[in-house]
Amino acid sequence: MKRALILALNEVRLYLRDKGDLAFTLLLPIVTFALMYGAFGGASRFNATAYVVDEDGGMYARSLVEGLGRVEGVKVSMLSTEKALARLQDADLNFVLFIPAGFSERLASEGRAELVFRQRGNGGQTGQVLGSIIRGIARDMERDIGIYQKVRSNLAGTGIAVETIDVVVTRLLEEERGNPSVRVKEELTGGTGELVNQYVPSILTMYVLFALMVGARAIVEERRKGTLERLLTTRLSVGELFFGKYIAGIGRGFVQTFILLALSYAVFRMFTPASFLQSLCFVFVYIAAVSALSLVLASVSRTEDAANWIGIVFTMATVILGGTFFEVSEGSLLHTLGRFSINTYANEALKKIIAEGASLGDVVPSLLIFVGVAVVGLILSRLIFRAVSGAR
């Protein structure tokens, strides 16, 4: 066992001397972090600009735009039709609200009218959020218009001026808006409501998977140098060899994630000391599982090219299935496939810990899965190595 540790230390030393690997595993997280800071630093919750083309110019169109401007975090920017279309075409914008000509008139006369969302693809996450905000505002408008009309028709013939009716209804509606029957109260049970909390876990687990790519080369590199064969003539057993590589893999992954976690702690103030420690522990177990997987990849890779490709394909598949870049909707095929990605469990659990203030006790199922993967991975890699090497 001591030899396994010496091997691991040697591995770490080699890793520290390899400038490329070092840059890849240490600098990249820091750069990523800086980018995240640029994107999320100081910003809170949803923040977006809604691009609107008002081809109508009528009363209801104006009130819709005003309503949109009142939403927290939403800035409205008006565009001309041509400009909006051009920018959509250039992929400069993903989502634009078009208020077609005649919107106000039809709404007043027929009680219904159409809005148009022009979007690229699904409009992006921001577009989707804006879309549902706009739908909400439109629904409110529709309800208000309905109320005006009902009150007017009920009071028809009583001799009260329409203007007076409208003034009273407007006042009542405003009162009601200020004091809704169903109120939403936000309570934080831990963590913060910051958007960055949703991203840091994904980025963190993604970097653990990047470390896996380095790990996948662990055996082939040693084979290429000739040192693998030499090691096999010493007292180092294959079990110790794998265990040493395993510890080294955990060490590398841990250093990397520690940097990201510590930076998140310091800059975004995402943690309490307790949640920081819990995140560290959780990430450690996750890394233990991923490192075991990387050994499986290492033992099947016969050449360095093979190791690189297997590592990249596995990492990207795991990251995508794990919902790192986009939310995987429930019930979809991707969601089902995602159950096979270890990253899914890591992301879900880490989000719980960071954003919802959950404790390690709340994520025991994920931890058990990781321990299982680690054990199976270690045994499997050892068996595959014996079968593939034809040696012992």
Using CB under 8 A as the criterion, which residues of the chain lie in contact with another protein when the complex forms?
A: 3, 6-7, 10, 13-14, 17-18, 225-227, 229-237, 390-392
User: Which is it for strands 74-78 and 95-99: parallel, antiparallel or unpaired?
Assistant: unpaired
Closer CB to another protein, 231 or 316, in the complex:
231
Q: What element of type H or E holds 211? A: helix 196-216
Closer CB to another protein, 135 or 225, in the complex:
225
Closer CB to another protein, 13 or 45, in the complex:
13
In the chain, the N- to C-terminal Cα span, in Å, equals 19
Cα 73 from Cα 222, distance rounded (Å): 54
Closer CB to another protein, 66 or 229, in the complex:
229
Shortest separation between residue 236's beta carbon and another protein, angstroms:
5
Q: Residue 243: which of 231, 255, 230 has the closest Cα?
A: 231
Question: Which amino acid is located at 329 in the chain?
Answer: S
CA 19 vs CA 6, 14, 24, 89: distances in Å: 22, 10, 8, 43
Closer CB to another protein, 4 or 310, in the complex:
4
Helix (H, G, I), strand (E, B) or coil at 77: strand
Cα 189 from Cα 200, distance rounded (Å): 19
Closer CB to another protein, 17 or 183, in the complex:
17
Closer CB to another protein, 5 or 380, in the complex:
5
Closer CB to another protein, 170 or 237, in the complex:
237
Q: Provide CB contacts within 8 A for 297, sequence distance 6+.
A: 212, 215, 216, 307, 310, 311, 314
Shortest separation between residue 218's beta carbon and another protein, angstroms:
14
Q: Backbone phi, then psi, for 301, in 5-degree steps?
A: -80, 125
Q: What element of type H or E holds 16? A: helix 2-17
Shortest separation between residue 309's beta carbon and another protein, angstroms:
24
Shortest separation between residue 381's beta carbon and another protein, angstroms:
19
Cα 254 from Cα 275, distance rounded (Å): 17
Buried/exposed code over 61-80 (b: 16+ C-beta within 10 A; e: otherwise): beebbebbeebeebebeebe
